[in-house]
Amino acid sequence: MRYIPNSAEERAEMLRDIGLSSADDLFRSIPADILLKRDLNVIEPMAENEVIAEMERLADANSAAKKVSFLGGGVYSHFSPTIVDYLIQRSEFFTSYTPYQPEVTQGTLQYIFEFQTLVCQLTGMDVANASMYDGSTAMAEAFLMAQRVTRRDKVLVLETVHPEYTQVAKTYTQHGELVLETIGFDSSTGTVLESDLAKLDDHTAALVVQSPNFFGAIEDLDALAEKAHAVGALLVVVVTEAISLGLLKTPGACGADIVVAEGQSFGVPMSFGGPHVGLFACRDKYVRQMPGRLSGIAYDKNGNRGFVLTLATREQHIRRDKATSNICTNQGLIALAATIYLETMGKKGLEEVAVQNLQKAAYARNKIDSLEGYSATFDSHGFNEFVVTGPKDAESILKQLADDEGILGGIALSRYYNNHDNDFLVCVTETNTRAEIDRFVEALAAAG
């Protein structure tokens, strides 16, 4: 086995050195009746090129990966500078662990500090943690945090929050006191249904809104913050398309108390849904109720600046069942990828890529909206996603596009919403060329 340095002879010598006669002796402390007395029924060892060949066979069977795609819905195809994937593969980053020993993990601690800073800059918030597993689990943690901060037990979630996120939050909160209630959407704007905001009351811990929402529509966060704050509730803002942060008014400037986001758009491959990275930011005054790790500045006795994990008393290894979360570490390497992406794109790039998404999506939306039989379902301002109502069942249109034209035209809303059989969610990013968009529009016309 090439991953095990010691040869069979060396292992035999070592056994002799410690007074054992065979490898079986190593397991004498395991009662004989629970020892496995046969070989595992897994594959015989494969050579390197055999593993590659098998993996390529499987990857080939993911035919969708090669197609022109307009899929979004929480996972986005964006350009990632070459150096992102190059740098995260430095041994010192990818084969190290949580920075428990600051003297030999300053590289990790400093990039986490930079990541925290960038998340604050992008969201307009005071403080951000070292990251969560992904956007969905970050949102669930935000619910629990809002409950701790307000000592209230009701969370109002807009139906236009990513449905899988809400499902995760339901799982996380099913055994506590927290009750989730939904707020509907206006059928013409696709944004919050004003009349449902009457559910806000003095039991409400948080109002939870995604913007741009699952339909791609931008919500009026200022107004929602005002309404939430009027009853003493927090405003939790969810962002699944983090590229939008480069252009939209920040959730912080709108009055958000907690912001959670999926950072996959920042240079991270889609990878069939993970690993991605959850961003988590809040107001300064709530930092001690925040889940997750934090890196902060510290000095050594010679006055050298360094970084340490700090405010650790919130965490499970100290507070155990009273911790702010059971999360142990963070999403290290993916947070690093996001950090490298953000720094490489920089001030100018983050704005340019956001503008390109906005422009291309608007171009596609106008073209599709002018097709006979198709229309943009909602009339709100959007970013890079929008819902289209087609002339017939969306699933059949999308299947036809995939089979005949090799185009993945979107996500049928029926996957998540009832009574929207003809509607599908289209996403256009900077990676979609005009030629692709034009071909997509033609294919839609033919399919309709």
Partner 1 sequence: MTIKKVTSHPTQNEALIFERSRPGRVGYRLPALDVEEASLDDLLPANMRRDDGLAGVPEVSEVDVVRHFTRLSTWNFSIDLGMYPLGSCTMKYNSRLNEKVARIGGFANHHPLAPEDESQGALELMYQLQEDLAEITGLPGVTLQPAAGAHGEMTGVMLIRAALDKRDGDASHERRVMLVPDSAHGTNPASAHMAGFTVKTVKSTEDGFTDIGHLKELCGEGGIAGLMLTNPSTVGIFEKNIREICDIIHEAGGLVYMDGANMNALVGVARPGDMGVDVIHLNLHKTFSTPHGGGGPGSGPCCCTAELDEFLPIPRVVKNGNTYALDFDRPASIGRVKAFFGNFGMMVRALSYINTHGNSGLRQATEAAVLNARYLAHFLVEDYHKPFEADPMHEVILSHKNQTRQGVHTLDIGKRLIDYGFHPMTVYFPLIVDGAMLIEPTESVGRQELDLFVDAMRSIAEETRENPDIVINAPHTTRIGRLDEATAARKPVLKWTPDVEAAGTAS
Partner 2 sequence: MANIPEDLRYSKDHEWVRVEGDVAVIGITDYAQDSMGDVVYVEMPNPGDNFNAHDAFGSVESVKAVSEIFTPVGGEVVEINEELNDSPESVNDDPYGDAWMVKIKMDNSGEADALLNAEEYSEFLQSEAD
Restricting to residues 112-151, name those near partner 1 by CB under 8 A.
Answer: 113-114, 116-118, 120-122, 124, 127-128, 130-131, 133-137
Among 318, 328, 355, 446, binds partner 2 (CB under 8 A): 318
The correct pick among 285, 319, 347, 434 for binding partner 2 (CB under 8 A) is 319
**Residue 297 touching partner 2 (CB under 8 A):** no
Nearest one of 383, 342, 425, 411 to 211, comparing CA atoms: 383
Size of the site for partner 1 (CB under 8 A): 204
Instruction: Indicate the helix (H) or strand (E) that contains 334.
Output: helix 332-369
The alpha-carbon radius of gyration of the chain (Å, integer) is 25
C-alpha to C-alpha distance for 213 and 236, rounded to whole angstroms: 13
Q: Which is closer to partner 1, CB of 270 or CB of 371?
A: 270
Stretch that binds partner 2, among 29-37, 212-220, 254-262, 312-320 (CB under 8 A): 312-320
Q: Which stretch binds partner 1 (CB under 8 A): 31-39, 152-160, 182-190, 200-208?
A: 31-39
Cβ-contact 271, 72 below 8 angstroms: no
Could you give phi then psi for residue 233, rounded to 5 degrees?
-95, 160
Residues 333-362 that bind partner 1 (CB under 8 A): 333-336, 340, 342-353, 355-356, 358-360, 362
Q: Compare residues 90 and 288 and give the one whose CB is closer to partner 2.
A: 288
d(CA 170, CA 154): 12
For the window 236-265, what string marks contact with partner 1 as x by the rule CB under 8 A?
----------xxxxx--x--------x---
What is the DSSP secondary-structure string of 152-213? --EEEEETTS-HHHHHHHHHHHTTSS-EEEEE-B-TTTSSB-GGGGGG--TTEEEEEEESS-
Residue 327 contact, options partner 2, partner 1, none, Cβ 5-8 Å cut-off depending on partner type: partner 1
* Alpha-carbon dihedral sign for residues 301, 303, 306, 309: positive
The least CB distance from residue 152 to partner 2, in Å, is: 16
Closest CA to 139 of 278, 324, 306: 278
Among 21, 151, 174, 198, binds partner 1 (CB under 8 A): 174
Position 104 contacts partner 1 (CB under 8 A): yes
Is residue 53 a contact point for partner 2 (CB under 8 A)? no
317 scored as a contact of partner 1 (CB under 8 A): yes
Tokens representing 194 are 């004003």
* 425, β-bridge pairs: 387, 411
CB of 16 to partner 1, least distance (A): 11
Inter-residue contact 280 to 128 (CB < 8 Å): yes
Assess 106 for contact with partner 1 (CB under 8 A).
yes
User: In the complex, what is the shortest distance from the CB of residue 313 to partner 2, in angstroms, rounded to a whole number?
Assistant: 4
Question: Which residues in this chain contact partner 2 in the complex, by CB under 8 A?
Answer: 288, 312-313, 318-319
